[in-house]
A and B are shown apart, each in its own frame.
Chain A
Amino acid sequence: MDNFPAHFHDGQTAARHDVAVALAAGGLHIAADDGRFLHLWRYEDLRTSERPRVNAPLRLSTAATPDARLVVDSANFYDGLRHRAPALFARGLDRPAVRRRWVIGLACVAVAAVALWKGVPVLATSLAPLVPAEWVRGWGEALSAQITGDARQCEDPDGLQALQQMTDRLLADAGSTLPTTVVVIDHKMANAFAAPGGNVVILRGLIDEAETADEVAGVLAHELGHAVKRHPTQALIRYAGVSLLLGLIGGDSNIIVETVAEVGGLALLLSYNRDMEREADIFAYDLLQRTNIGADGLISFFERLSDETGEADDPLSTYLSTHPSTRERIAALRQAYVNLPSPRPALDQDAWQALRSICR
């Protein structure tokens, strides 16, 4: 049996011992300088922390004493060990442990991706109704204050009465479980939004822009859809969920990763947003039909909006937008459209004029 000179560290002190190693039948026979037997390391117990290379010293340890190290620097020893302990030289995907790890790892990534795509909206939809109204209300008030800034609430008594009339009519059939209030803010932007907590804010500019009370009722019905379905709370949960999952996956490693993750997360959130907008449109259509107002106002409002803004309809613009394209929304409404035999306008002429001057 050939004896190879080697260095041995017993893992108990930092001393380096000169030893002789032989490739025995069952394992490595380690003997001291004077020939005295020290250890037998069985081939199946051998471990190495780095890929064995033919012209570099082999650093071996054994499962029983993982701190001990045997260092052998010999090409012949390398060849000999190769035949007797082939498992030691298998690296990477040759080893079943590594293959298993890869399968688990890729499965985790797949699960995370699916969770991100599908799980987040599902979670949001089911959790949102469970969030207590008081929490959401406080947040909603803070948010509304942020958006409307210093603009005041419009309080003309006749206008308020007209607004209440329209609101009551819609709320009667809305199936809302939250107390919902509608206010008009004196701001020139033509917009309306549903704040978390069940409050709807209409900006004066929208009323100025509308040509009939039915148009305002249509927009109000849409916003009530957001409120009733708790979309704002859902949006918060979705945002939290996406951030959480992206944080887990991406971590904080790389500037590119962060950017890609943010962009990806944003795209995902925008698509969720568009889904919620479609849902609110459907709700609005149903509500308008049930309350006998009809969807004509809503459709004509969208059509005017589409003409005026000259909205880009290409897929990329739609992809980057928080709302589905107006054209798509009009098409969806038209497709569902069923003529009402005798619709009643949302407000009579006097009430409509009063609403128009609510901010006087």
Chain B
Amino acid sequence: MSTSPIQFIAGAIPPEKIAQCISEMESYLHVGAHDIFLGQVRADEIDGKLVEGIDYSAYEEMAIQAFEQIIQEGIERYDLQKVRILHSLGKVKVGELCLFVLAASAHRKAAIEGCTYLVERLKKEVPIFGKEIFQDESYQWKVNQ
């Protein structure tokens, strides 16, 4: 069982891995609520072309550092008991999961607000890059809004 709050997963995040993260929370007896966010690859249409998948890459050492800082600040601000983040690297097809964020706290307000805080910050601050691949195998680089 990994003790790091952040893990990169090769390819899509399997739902079983998410179930495993949730069950890990059993032993944290002061947790009363979890909020989770799941990011799924969407079949966007861009200039008449359909996205078939996203190929994720990262400046991994800097990404881990950024994740850790965001998590630490989230824990302090929202009194979170536990955070788990999984992010895909490599190819993830439309319909598959690419991001999992779990924020666990004593009470629901902190868990919900803490989870949102983590998601919004990671999308802005973590050096992860995504190549949106179209059905014709051409691609463009994804930019977070």
The answer to whether A and B assemble together is no
